[in-house]
Amino acid sequence: MTLCLAAGSCLTLQAQEIPLVNNIYGRPHTTTLNGQWNYIVDVQERGFYDYRMREDRNGFFRDAHQRSKIDLVEYNFDTSPQMAVPGDWNTQDSRLFFYEGTVWLRRTFDYQPKPGRRTVLYFGAVNYEAIVYVNGQKMGRHVGGFTPFNYDITSALKPGQNNVIVKVDNKRDRSQIPTNIYDWWNYGGITRDVLLTEVGETYIEDYSLQLDKQDWKHLTGWVKLNSRKAGERVTVSIPELKVNQQVMTDDEGRAELSIKAKPELWSPESPKLYDVTLTLGEESMQDRIGFRCIETKGKQIVLNGKPIFLRGVAIHEEAPFTQGRTRNLEQSRTLLGWAKELNCNYVRLAHYPHSELEVREAEKMGIMVWDEIPVYWTIDWTNEETYANAQRQLHDMIYRDKNRAAVVIWGIANETPHSEPRDKFLSSLARYAREMDSSRLISMAMEVTSAKNFHNKLSDNMHEYVDVVSFNQYVGWYRDVNVAAKMTWEVPYDKPVIISEFGGGALAGWHADKDTRFCEEFQENLYIENLKMLDKIDGLSGLSPWILMDFRSPARYLPHVQDFFNRKGLISPEGQKKLAFYVMQQYYREKMEQAKQSR
């Protein structure tokens, strides 16, 4: 893989894992390795390096056992404690609440390899660096805490008991994506599903199927095999649309799709999904996808030919009631259900790709999605490896979610300081996203950098690379709420505007007057004044207030109020709705009524 910066310099990466076996949840021969994994905390990484800081051939990945009573083995996975996978270590072991470093995790499993079949080991996400071993053999190293990856482990498996050992390291570094300072908790661990899937020697690796923007009675796309084999017959079936098309792969193992069909279009009001089956030989892959057209016209966002206002909220992938990283679909359903109760038709999944299951659930519920990568605050803009990391995460997010009709915006950055290196970095990402997928909108959360006499002007060189101009503003929290009525906003671009963040903190259950910071009445008044102010912005096409639920952050210290929580949520971690929730709910209800009347 070769990744290039806008300045023209290139960096070649050695791919250590095979391309993602996409749509893992639609594969017929898939089993889970979720459950209890043994773990060893390795503060000095002595399980990886010897005392000369060389990679140790006898490291923990060997899963050694004492063979005789004189043998010296100073670790033992069998007698080590266990933690749940998926899950973070910070909330499962109180000793590790603030811990950032290396933890080894091991899972044993029984398996019978099958002749003529390949076995793929899939991780939904591991934060942040993962080095994976199967039966003592290194499969590879993956960097990035929020995107999936997999390995072909066929050659490493044996009949009977096998083991997977993962060295997980969540230490922060300036060169990483995200960088070393950010306003959410750095949950370490194997935080999403671990799966095994069996496939044939030749299998369908990936596919794409979209509504043709120019002809809504036409679906276009492609299907790709894992190998460059020509003449392989792939059948695409969509029974409800009476589609049953066969295509032949070319020398690249790829076939183009061109299908005449008239699907019912997906929308928040009618989130229609179709069963799709792709078959190669005797093996089929299932999916459920929708078809829709998202675009902009002047200062409007247009869904399926009609202007739409994005009634949204930002969400962190933080578990309600229990805290920590979300571990299962039920927790995601709770968060998305609260968004629906708020009258949302859209969510901004901040500040990193959330789980595939959460995106799919939003699609079922009729909620549009802003998907984004963690290019956040002060990235190392001139570091080629940092750019390569960002582009890889962008690639993997788009690769995973390209068939999800709910995803309408690719977000490429949040609150980044202006500079020429930053502009080169982000413009390269924007171009790359558009090359990968031109069927969606591109945006980023900007900052208003020019303000004088209550007049605020957005000025950002990235305006020409995005489809939707989005910016964060915190009048009432970092600026006096009493000036909101005087504020004017100038966005000098003929593009729709989304206020990607606004809001302020409140401790649920604390009541005082509206001028007392951190009480519910303060947050309620902040929302009332902000909504009146923001409604005046020309081209306002959506809002995603910050944030649905309070979330953990190491930067929020205030005892008895914050206690390492960012309290800007409309709902507490215990599920208590704050007064501002009802302000936002009523505002969106009125927006819904206005939309009905305009039809």
Determine the pLDDT at residue 17.
67
Beta bridge mates, 120: 152, 197
* pLDDT class of 598 with cuts at 50, 70, 90: confident
> If one looks up domain 214-292 in CATH, what number appears?
2.60.40.10
Tally Cβ neighbours within 10 Å of residue 337.
13
Residues 332 and 319: their CA atoms lie apart, in Å, by 8
Mean pLDDT of 254-273: 97
Report whether 75 contacts 87 (CB < 8 A). no
Query: What's the pTM value of the predicted model, to 2 decimals?
Result: 0.95
* pLDDT class of 449 with cuts at 50, 70, 90: confident
Residues 335 and 283: their CA atoms lie apart, in Å, by 36
- CA dihedral over 216, 239, 118, 197, signed as positive or negative: positive
Q: Sketch the domain layout of the chain as residue ranges.
A: 15-200, 214-292, 305-598
CA distances from 403 to 284, 303, 414, 439 (A): 17, 16, 24, 10
In sequence order, what are the residues at sequence separation of 6 or more whose Cβ sits closer than 8 angstroms to the Cβ of residue 348? 312, 313, 314, 315, 370, 372, 411, 500, 544
Q: How many CA atoms lie within 13 A of 454 on its CB side?
A: 10
Of the CATH numbers 2.60.40.10, 1.20.1250.20, 3.40.50.300, 2.60.120.260, which one belongs to the domain with range 15-200?
2.60.120.260
Residues 78 and 363: their CA atoms lie apart, in Å, by 41
Element (H, E) at 279: strand 274-280
* pLDDT class of 15 with cuts at 50, 70, 90: very low
Q: Which ranges of 373-419 does DSSP label H, i.e. alpha helix?
A: 384-401
Residue found by looking up tokens 């004044």 in the block: 529
pLDDT per position as a tens digit, 551-561:
999 999 999 99
pLDDT per position as a tens digit, 24-65:
999 999 999 999 999 999 999 999 999 999 999 999 999 999
Residue found by looking up tokens 């505007």 in the block: 497
Residue found by looking up tokens 């009949």 in the block: 159
Mean pLDDT of 309-333: 97
Residue 264 confidence (pLDDT) above 90: yes
Mean pLDDT of 474-485: 92
CA distances from 561 to 182, 213, 224, 527 (A): 20, 50, 53, 20
CA distances from 415 to 172, 334, 439, 513, 577 (A): 19, 28, 25, 32, 28
Residue 369 phi/psi, 5-degree rounding, is -130, 135
pLDDT per position as a tens digit, 380-408:
999 999 999 999 999 999 999 999 999 99
Determine the pLDDT at residue 245.
96
* pLDDT class of 12 with cuts at 50, 70, 90: very low
Q: What is the dihedral of CA 313, 315, 321, 325, to 10 degrees?
A: 170
Peptide bond into 271 cis (omega under 30): no
Residue 479 confidence (pLDDT) above 90: no
In sequence order, what are the residues at sequence separation of 6 or more whose Cβ sits closer than 8 angstroms to the Cβ of residue 534? 489, 499, 502, 540, 543
Residue found by looking up tokens 């893992």 in the block: 24
Element (H, E) at 536: none
Beta bridge mates, 565: 552
For the domain made up of 305-598, give the CATH fold: TIM Barrel (3.20.20)
User: Of 386, 323, 269, which Cα lies nearest the Cα of 94?
Assistant: 323
User: Of 387, 379, 444, which Cα lies nearest the Cα of 414?
Assistant: 444
Tokens of 392: 């890889």
Name which of 66-75, 374-383, 509-518, 521-530 the model is least confident about.
66-75
Residues 86 and 524: their CA atoms lie apart, in Å, by 36
Residue 13 confidence (pLDDT) above 80: no
Q: Say which DSSP state 429 is in.
A: H
Query: Where are the extended beta strands (E) located within 43-188?
Result: 82-85, 102-111, 117-123, 126-127, 129-134, 137-143, 149-152, 160-169
Determine the pLDDT at residue 9.
38
pLDDT per position as a tens digit, 198-253:
999 999 999 999 999 999 999 999 999 999 999 999 999 999 999 999 999 999 99
Report whether 507 contacts 567 (CB < 8 A). yes
Residues 341 and 541: their CA atoms lie apart, in Å, by 20
Determine the pLDDT at residue 448.
81
Domain 15-200 identical in fold to domain 214-292: no
CA distances from 431 to 261, 411, 426, 461, 507 (A): 31, 13, 9, 14, 42
Q: Which residue type does 166 have?
A: V
Q: Report helix, strand or coil for 412.
A: strand
- Percent of the chain scored above 90 by pLDDT? 93
Three-class SS of 173-221: CCCCCCCCCCCCCCCCEECCCEEEEEEECCCEEEEEEEEECCEEEEEEE
Residue 7 confidence (pLDDT) above 70: no
Determine the pLDDT at residue 597.
86
Element (H, E) at 335: helix 329-341
CA distances from 282 to 17, 42, 492 (A): 26, 46, 57
Residues 564 and 555: their CA atoms lie apart, in Å, by 7
Determine the pLDDT at residue 452.
84
Q: When comparing pLDDT for 2 and 489, which is higher?
A: 489
Residues 377 and 555: their CA atoms lie apart, in Å, by 14
Largest CA distance in the chain: 83
